[in-house]
């Protein structure tokens, strides 16, 4: 919408307007701006500037004789400026890092804790999406016989143990013994990446003489595929009920809570940034989801250049962006600290 750079005064007026609106939730008048932020010019001048800003699509007024309210475009500009001029207190940072370092081990716990910290600090609902590393490697496969020809399948991976699936054993394997079968399975699967299972190559490895194992292989491949599917993304939401602090409309609350309860939509929402910058801001709803009258601020987290996840805040359009930006930035720094700390320990 905005075609060219705004004049310095327009920008100043716009920032003042957004600041004031975030604080007061009331349409901001030219007089307000003049008295609080720009006493050196008259309100009439500010009025004409506001007129221009309205024509540019930054602001709007609810009715003829009301003050102005910011539109999405205004919030975006406001955020960009706030992000550039962001400040961060060292003490906040060290407190965050402290909360993290207690549980450095587990990436799931780490993101749950990140979500808690974000919500505690901002008082908005937070969302943390983690891309779990896709190169899970199979370290060992074991079949453990239970009664009735059922065997528990144990798969030890670089990311943990899969131990909740069992299969029925075909006669052929029952006779040959589970030890043998386990060894054979290990021969095929050991060292493989879960994300790159080459079924055909496996079948070739089994060879003609072991066709009876086909069924077991298929079942194990199924287990692995499901595992990599469900492990790929995890979504943590914290403070969903914060919506009740700022929204009065039951239907809005319902929409919000439904969205926030649906990991899939959330993940889509958070991991499709509208820009390739460090920080993404989405206001209102569009084709990728979103929700009316709400804004979503998302930051992307990388370790060694690899994107490991996104963390974001979902709150009212008129949210305390400065706070939110500073917290998300702090989380980013903390995570880097934690992981650097981790590295040096090894």
For residues 328 and 122, is the Cβ–Cβ distance under 8 A?
A: no
Site string (295-314) toward DNA, x via CB under 7 A: --------------------
Count of residues interacting with DNA (CB under 7 A): 24
Rounded to 10°, the helix 107-122/90-101 angle is: 140
41 binds DNA (CB under 7 A): yes
Binders of DNA among 58-87, rule CB under 7 A? 61, 63-68
Question: Binding segment for DNA among 22-30, 136-144, 224-232, 282-290 (CB under 7 A)?
Answer: 22-30
Please give the Cα distance from 324 to 233 (Å, whole number). 24
146 binds a copy of itself (CB under 8 A): yes
Question: Binding segment for a copy of itself among 27-35, 95-103, 213-221, 246-254 (CB under 8 A)?
Answer: 246-254
CA-derived radius of gyration, the chain: 27
Shortest Cβ distance from residue 146 to a copy of itself (Å)? 6
For residue 182, CA distances in Å to 148, 157, 164, 211, 212 come to 18, 15, 17, 16, 14
29 binds DNA (CB under 7 A): yes
118-121's contacts with Cβ under 8 Å and 24+ in sequence apart are 118/238, 118/311, 118/313, 118/327, 118/328, 118/331, 119/238, 119/239, 119/242, 121/323, 121/327, 121/330
For residues 236 and 128, is the Cβ–Cβ distance under 8 A?
A: yes
Shortest Cβ distance from residue 15 to DNA (Å)? 16
Given the structure tokens 């595992």, which residue do they identify?
227
- Binding residue for a copy of itself, selected from 43, 45, 195, 247, defined by CB under 8 A: 247
Helix (H, G, I), strand (E, B) or coil at 96: helix
248 binds a copy of itself (CB under 8 A): yes
Please give the Cα distance from 90 to 106 (Å, whole number). 25
47 binds, among DNA, a copy of itself, none (CB under 5 to 8 A by kind): DNA
43 binds, among a copy of itself, DNA, none (CB under 5 to 8 A by kind): DNA
CA neighbor of 198 nearest in space, from 252, 107, 206, 120: 206
Strand partners, 301: 309
Count of residues interacting with a copy of itself (CB under 8 A): 24
Please give the Cα distance from 300 to 310 (Å, whole number). 4
Shortest Cβ distance from residue 319 to DNA (Å)? 22
343 binds, among a copy of itself, DNA, none (CB under 5 to 8 A by kind): none
* Interface contacts to DNA, rule CB under 7 A: 9, 26, 29-32, 40-45, 47-48, 50-51, 54, 61, 63-68
**Interacting residue ranges for a copy of itself, rule: CB under 8 A:** 139-140, 142, 144, 146-147, 152, 154, 156, 161, 163-164, 166, 241, 244, 247-248, 250-251, 253-254, 257-258, 261
């Amino acid at each position: 919408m905005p075609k060219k750079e705004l004049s310095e005064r327009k920008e100043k007026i716009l920032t003042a307007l957004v600041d004031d609106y975030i604080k007061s939730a009331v349409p901001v008048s030219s007089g307000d701006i003049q008295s609080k932020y720009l006493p050196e010019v008259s309100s009439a001048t500010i009025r004409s500037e506001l007129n221009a800003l309205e024509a540019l699509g930054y602001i709007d007024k609810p009715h003829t004789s009301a003050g102005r309210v910011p539109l999405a475009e205004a919030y975006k500009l406001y955020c960009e400026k706030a992000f550039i001029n962001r400040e961060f207190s060292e003490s906040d940072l060290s407190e965050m890092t402290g909360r993290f370092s207690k549980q450095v081990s587990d990436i799931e716990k780490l993101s749950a804790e990140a979500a808690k910290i974000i919500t505690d600090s901002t008082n908005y609902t937070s969302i943390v999406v983690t891309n779990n590393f896709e190169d899970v490697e199979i370290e060992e496969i074991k079949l453990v016989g239970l009664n009735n020809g059922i065997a528990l399948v144990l798969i030890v991976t670089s990311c943990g143990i899969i131990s909740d699936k069992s299969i029925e054993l075909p006669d052929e394997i029952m006779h040959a013994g589970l030890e043998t079968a386990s060894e054979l399975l290990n021969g095929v699967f050991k060292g493989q990446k879960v994300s790159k299972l080459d079924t055909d190559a496996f079948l070739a490895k089994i060879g003609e003489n072991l066709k009876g194992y086909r069924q077991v292989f298929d079942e194990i491949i199924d287990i692995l595929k499901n595992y990599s599917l469900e492990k790929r993304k995890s979504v943590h939401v914290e403070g969903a009920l914060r919506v009740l602090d700022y929204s009065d409309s039951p239907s809005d609350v319902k929409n919000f809570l439904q969205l926030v309860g649906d990991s899939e939509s959330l993940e889509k929402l958070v991991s499709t940034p509208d820009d390739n910058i460090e920080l993404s801001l989405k206001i209102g709803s569009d084709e990728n989801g979103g929700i009316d009258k709400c804004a979503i601020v998302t930051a992307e987290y990388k370790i060694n250049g690899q994107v490991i996840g996104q963390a974001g805040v979902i709150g009212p359009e008129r949210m305390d962006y400065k706070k939110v930006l500073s917290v998300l930035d702090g989380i980013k720094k903390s995570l880097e600290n934690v992981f650097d700390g981790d590295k040096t320990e090894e």
